[in-house]
A and B are shown apart, each in its own frame.
Chain A
């Protein structure tokens, strides 16, 4: 045994602390997956979805459809990569999960961009991709919709 070994052994944390660290490293991905939270779930391309984004605002003149691409100047580089493809068909599971958690934030941005609006609606459609052999992957399969309605403060 080297002379430094006893002191090294003495520094081993208590069992509960080591158990907590083990739970964090091994258990967290499974908890993340159960909660459909992409951060640290390590799913790695195991399933791919397509998604579509619809935006609209309610103004005194009626409901106005907002093109997704009109948000571009107000988005970060990374947000553009995820949000703008939603104008037609975006692909990816993590991207869809991230987007689903931030619909209200997009609604808040719509309110700021449309000062006359009383509310903003953000709809996210997501669905599975078709099986092998399908010629138009983007146009097959149903979409399941999630909606966030944000009341605009004036």
Chain B
């Protein structure tokens, strides 16, 4: 039991370069900023501009009475609170990007993000959930000390938690595809029929592997990426494979910022953890 405890501790001890946390904060905040509104429309077209005008989740109901259908019972935001919340979210995303009181900012943003998301059940998207979880994770990140500066070593355990989030996403996505309808290629055929997958990369992949082969490849990739990422020797290969996978997925289907969020999560596996001085046998654990 003690060995299990030590192995568990070994998954979370050590430190990492503090710049890792700063880079992740800037990345997540930038994505939130981009996704929360359409202000780049005139010079940089993004997937969500097809359905977002102005601030995302702005009040959009034409006339009363309106449908009230929150994911959390009782969570009702009227027009005024929604107006305020979407603007506050954008402002706070900018504050987070700059790095002013990042933990507090991330905490308030988490409340706002989930308040807006859960106030209307039909707002849910996986890519938003992934981004909002990453913003929530920033609450765990220790702020850099004045004497150490951003380059100082900081506790690695929050990074390990973020990495476990990515492992969880891949395992869940991969095992969900462990079904006859996916493996036969039927689900991909439907997606193709609905024009959810399209474009030259899709057509080339289809010609090369066929529907069934492509479906198996996607499932195998999602299930094998966690293994590559968990094993220290293959970790960086896993990061590169994962980024390539998301670039391909983003080129064939409109997944908004999902590929970018996942690539940032993958990047969290790149830096090495500096382990504390301890017996070498603790290195046997290959934590996420």
Q: Judge whether B13 and A9 touch: CB under 8 Å.
A: yes
Q: Judge whether B181 and A8 touch: CB under 8 Å.
A: no
Interface positions of A from 30 to 66, Cβ below 8 Å from B:
30, 33, 38-48
Q: Given known contacts A105-B68, A129-B186, is B121 in contact with A47 (CB within 8 Å)?
A: no
**How many angstroms between the C-alpha atoms of A22 and B161 in the bound complex?**
7
Q: Is A116 an interface residue (CB 8 A)?
A: no
Segment from B33-41, B103-111, B190-198, B231-239 that makes contact with A: B190-198
**How many angstroms between the C-alpha atoms of A74 and B62 in the bound complex?**
6
Chain B residues with a Cβ closer than 8 Å to the other chain, count:
68
* Interface residue SS majority, chain A: helix
**Contact among B122, B148, B157, B173 for A12, CB-based, below 8 A:** B157
Q: Is B271 an interface residue (CB 8 A)?
A: no
Q: Is A154 an interface residue (CB 8 A)?
A: no
Q: Which residues of A contact B123 (CB under 8 A)?
A: 76, 78
**Contact among B59, B169, B179, B276 for A9, CB-based, below 8 A:** B276
**How many angstroms between the C-alpha atoms of A8 and B147 in the bound complex?**
14
A31 to chain B, nearest CB (A): 10
Query: Residues of A at under 8 Å CB distance from B?
Result: 1-2, 4-5, 7-9, 11-13, 15, 18-19, 21-22, 25-30, 33, 38-48, 71-79, 81-83, 91, 94, 98, 101-102, 105-106, 108-109, 112-113, 128-129, 131-132, 137
In this complex, the member of B61, B65, B176, B196 whose beta carbon has the largest number of chain A beta carbons within 10 angstroms is B176
Closest 6 CB pairs of A and B: A29-B172, A105-B69, A42-B172, A46-B176, A26-B168, A112-B65
Q: Judge whether A12 and B155 touch: CB under 8 Å.
A: yes
Q: Which residues of A contact B182 (CB under 8 A)?
A: 46-47
B20 to chain A, nearest CB (A): 13
A7, closest chain B residue (CB): B145
Q: Judge whether B168 and A25 touch: CB under 8 Å.
A: yes
Interface positions of B from 23 to 65, Cβ below 8 Å from A:
51, 57, 59-65
Q: Given known contacts A41-B172, A43-B173, A77-B51, is B67 in contact with A109 (CB within 8 Å)?
A: yes
Q: Which residues of A contact B83 (CB under 8 A)?
A: none
B114 to chain A, nearest CB (A): 10
Q: Judge whether A106 and B191 touch: CB under 8 Å.
A: no
Q: Judge whether B126 and A44 touch: CB under 8 Å.
A: yes
Interface string of B122-160 (1 = CB under 8 A from A): 111010010001000000101001001000111111000
Q: Judge whether B191 and A48 touch: CB under 8 Å.
A: yes
**How many angstroms between the C-alpha atoms of A83 and B229 in the bound complex?**
40
**How many angstroms between the C-alpha atoms of A146 and B15 in the bound complex?**
52
Q: Judge whether A45 and B196 touch: CB under 8 Å.
A: yes
Q: Is B189 an interface residue (CB 8 A)?
A: yes
Q: Which residues of B contact A43 (CB under 8 A)?
A: 172-173, 176
Q: Given known contacts A12-B157, A91-B194, is B169 in contact with A42 (CB within 8 Å)?
A: yes
Q: Judge whether A15 and B186 touch: CB under 8 Å.
A: no
Q: Given known contacts A4-B152, A41-B176, A101-B121, is B5 in contact with A73 (CB within 8 Å)?
A: no
